[in-house]
Amino acid sequence: MPEEFVILCHSGYGPVHYDLMLRTGDVLATWQLAADPCGLAKGQSLPAKRLADHRMGYLAYEGPVNKDRGRVDRVDIGTYERTVEQPDRWVVDLAGAKMKDTFELQCEDPQRNAWRLTRVS
> CB neighbours of 89 closer than 8 A, spacing ≥ 6?
104, 105, 106, 107
Q: Which of 54, 7, 58 is nearest to 28 (CA)?
A: 54
Q: Is 108 left (phi over 0), alpha (psi -120 to 50) or beta?
A: alpha
In tens, the pLDDT along 71-113 reads 999 999 999 999 998 999 999 999 999 999 999 999 999 999 9
- The confidence score (pLDDT) of residue 90 equals 98
Residue-range domain boundaries for the chain: 3-119
pTM score: 0.95
Angle at Cα 76 formed by Cα 75 and Cα 78, nearest 5°?
A: 165
Are the beta carbons of 52 and 30 closer than 8 angstroms? Answer: yes
- Tell me which H or E stretch contains 93: strand 89-96
